[in-house]
Amino acid sequence: MARINPNYGKLEAGYLFPEIGRRVRVFQEKNPSARVMRLGIGNTTEPLTPTVINGLRRGVDLLADVATYTGYGDEQGEMALRESLARRYARYGASLEPDEVFVSDGAKPDSANIQSIFGVDNAVAVQDPAYPVYVDTNVIAGRTGKWKDARYEGLVYMPCTEENGFFPDLPRGKVDLIYICSPNNPTGSVATKAQLKAFVDYAIARRAVIIFDAAYAAFISNPDLPRTIYEVEGARRCAIEINSLSKEAGFTGVRLGWAVVPKALECEDGKPGVLNRLWFRRQTTMFNGASNIAQRGALAVLSPEGQKECQGLVGYYMNNARVIREGLESVGLRCFGGVNAPYVWMKTPNGLSSWECFDKMLEEAHVVGTPGSGFGPSGEGYFRLSAFGHAEDIERAVASIRENLRL
Ligand code: PLP
């Protein structure tokens, strides 16, 4: 008799975005002529750049000729791409071998699957608020208890608040796996080298592993802020890094990411090299490689011309972030993030809850954002606005907030 995985029954999530959709539908039914403006989702809107399109076309052309056609490739990605990614890390002063880089179809699958190489008895710590994938995949794997009082029993929440600059203090008690996302979704905060160093030292001392999500690294313009955790001394001994071209190059639909699992990585019951081998084993068993067309596109993104063009794309979204932040601040709203990250984390006005703020924004300004409480208990009282969108739509939404939000 087949039985389901009972951990799915613990999941509270899947609530946030469906509930946003439900409220928007109800609003539109009551106000059919209102034009709702969406700043809620982190989805890219601008076309791929010319060099990248040429790279993808080249990938298609290679498949059209019997002399250059390729079928399955290495599960961990083409050597040329892994070498190119390793060279990018070298530019940040981090020396990696190509077989420490595993190409994938994105940062979401990697950040979801990486926990599977660790035992179910590991204690997990997450930033609060956090990208929901880290929490939900550990719930499904059975590393938490039940959902109670807006949190999962057994999960360590590391509050990210205005007081600590939205970067957590070191966790108290025993913690084995630590998820850190910088630049952060949803708060838009970026960890400094010193902040990451404290976590690296903590992890090395306890043989804990940091899972570092750098999906928004390309949005950092301040040269003093680390674009990879491997800029921090010792990180190769304790950190796995996940990244992707989704936001940097508009690959949200193309799908191309990577995980770095250093051979020097240590853990309690595995000698250096073991976690690298386990991830190799996991990927070769459960994944058949990223699309060869997407990998051609990725090589084009990483070329000097591609990098220049993608910086233009990032600059476009960061200008949107500036417009949002300045616009909200001009009417007295308190904002965080949005400087080296494409998310603006707004404090709700007049002590409103995140959902009350959502309703107010929708009803008065016709703007959709994301209630901060959907990302964790410390997100209550905040509201996330995404800079991904066409500039004219962002400007219209900000103008509507300025003119119509009753503060
Ligand atoms: N990690 C974070 C923090 C994200 O916000 C997102 C997407 O919004 C992802 C990963 C997903 O990236 P990908 O498109 O590469 O799966």
From 45, 103, 108, the mutation candidate for ligand 1 (largest count of ligand atoms within 8 A of CB) is 108
Q: For residue 257, give Cα distances in angstroms to 58, 110, 266, 294.
A: 20, 8, 23, 10
DSSP state, residue 380? T
Q: What pLDDT band is residue 174 in, cutting at 50, 70 and 90?
A: confident
Residue with the larger pLDDT of the pair 268 and 318: 318
Average pLDDT rounded to a whole number, residues 143-150: 94
Query: What is the domain extent for residue 29?
Result: 13-46+306-404
User: Among the three residues 288, 303, 318, which one is the final residue of a domain in this structure?
Assistant: 303
Q: CB of 318 within 8 A of CB of 48? A: no
- The 10 Å CB-count burial string (b at 16+, else e) for 257-273 is bbbbbbeebbbeebeee
User: Among the three residues 255, 278, 303, which one is the final residue of a domain in this structure?
Assistant: 303
Residues 6+ apart with CB under 8 A from 110: 102, 104, 242, 244, 257, 258, 259
- pLDDT(369) > 80: yes
Q: Give residue-wise pLDDT tens across range 230-248.
A: 999 999 999 999 999 999 9
Centre of ligand 1 to C-alpha 107, Å, is 5
Question: Which of 15-24, 66-75, 178-187, 360-369 shows the lowest mean pLDDT across its residues?
Answer: 15-24
Would 6 be classed as within a structural domain? no
Between CA 243 and CA 241 the distance in angstroms is 7
Q: Look at residue 173 in the predicted model and tell me its pLDDT.
A: 82
Would 341 be classed as within a structural domain? yes
Same-domain status, 140 and 36 = no
Pocket (CB within 6 angstroms of ligand 1): 42, 106-108, 111, 131, 181, 185, 213, 215, 244, 246, 252, 257
Q: Which atom of ligand 1 is nearest to the CA of 181?
A: 3
Same-domain status, 295 and 311 = no
Residue closest via CA to ligand 1's atom 8 equals 42
Q: What pLDDT band is residue 366 in, cutting at 50, 70 and 90?
A: very high
How many domains does the chain divide into?
2
- pLDDT(282) > 90: yes
Same-domain status, 111 and 189 = yes
Spatial CA neighbour of 99 closest among 262, 243, 229: 262
Would 125 be classed as within a structural domain? yes
Q: What is the pTM of this model?
A: 0.97
Q: Give residue-wise pLDDT tens across range 84-138.
A: 999 999 999 999 999 999 999 999 999 999 999 999 999 999 999 999 999 999 9
Report the half-sphere exposure of 256 (CA within 13 A, side-chain side): 25
DSSP state, residue 169? P
Q: Look at residue 14 in the predicted model and tell me its pLDDT.
A: 65
